[in-house]
Amino acid sequence: MTHTPRPGPPAEIDTTQTPQAPETPDARAARKAAKGRSANKTLNRWLRDAFSHRIDTPAQRRLSHVYTQFFDHAVLRALWHNFAQVAPALYRSNHPSRRRLQRYRDLGITHVLTLRGGQSVAPYLFEAEACRDFGMVFLQIPLSAQRAPKRVRLLSLLDLFDEIESPLLIHCKSGADRTGLAAAMYLIHKQGVPAQEAKRELSLRRLHAKWSKAGVLDLFMADLAAAEARGVPMRRWIETEYDQDDTNRRFRAMGLAERLRL
């Protein structure tokens, strides 16, 4: 006598899963672009870490000079300085060389403010050394060129502008984005220039591209101008209303046309 197994319950079908849609050409291009950016960041990080960034010995200085010239693009900044006088006591430029710092000292500039981060990389060390040698006061308030600025850094900028009356040079790497923002804030805070006019410091003429990630700084200035129109002073707006995360979120959601209208 044969035993016929009884059929079990029918297998359950998972209806919660939907077939994955094929990748569109735009999505594929975006994925490849993101992969390329990640690889580029990895390469830049490897190149940066491959150098000691020390300037204590002649051999170390030579290697750090190579990094500064070719990987930090000082060789390009030697051709164009992005230098301008913003106000009677304020100047702006890209990252200056030692020779340029000496010339700026001879112009009467006594203080240098870098908006770049890092205190252990070769460009910072060479600049700090040059400022010491030329009797210039070297200061640092790091800002981001591609993210909305932190509230504490903005307030530090305003405090610094209040403390320094002698000629000041502000710079970042290219002198376009972070420098433009700081220059605009100086004009508003110290010169009483309307925010709508001061934001011209963020201009294509200075190599600032509002359609790029740096356009988040234009959104910051647009919000600042709107607060000013409501009668809210810049410092109070930064202290009580400004939201860095919200600014970043709103900018990421903007399309190209919206960014161009900032």
Structure tokens at 151: 């509230």
State how far the Cα of 54 lies from the Cα of 134, in Å rounded to an integer.
21
* CATH code, domain with 139: 3.90.190.10
* CA distances to 40, 49, 135, 246 from 261, in Å: 30, 40, 44, 19
Q: Copy the structure tokens of residue 12.
A: 């359950």
Residue 24 lies in a domain: no
Domain assignment of residue 85, yes or no: yes
CA distance 180 to 145: 10
- Can you say how many angstroms the Cα of residue 144 is from the centroid of all Cα atoms in its chain? 3
**Would residue 42 count as lying in a domain?**
no
Report if residue 62 sits inside a domain: no
Q: Which domain holds residue 219?
A: 68-261
pTM score, two decimals? 0.81
**Residue whose structure tokens are 């990640």:** 38
In a domain, 145, yes or no: yes
Q: What would the mean pLDDT of 29-35 be, rounded to a whole number?
A: 61
Select from 136, 84, 132 the least CA-distant residue to 106. 136
Q: What angle do CA 88, 93, 94 make, to 5 degrees?
A: 165
138 strand-pairing partners: 112
Token couple for 122: 């070769």
Question: Do the domain assignments include residue 61?
Answer: no
Q: What was the pLDDT predicted at 53? A: 84
Average pLDDT of the segment spanning 91-114? 98
Indicate whether 57 belongs to any domain.
no
Tell me the per-residue pLDDT of 106-161, one tens digit each, with 9 for 90 and over.
999 999 999 999 998 999 999 999 999 999 999 999 999 999 999 999 999 999 99
Q: Report pLDDT for 13.
A: 47
As for how many domains the chain has, the answer is 1
In a domain, 23, yes or no: no
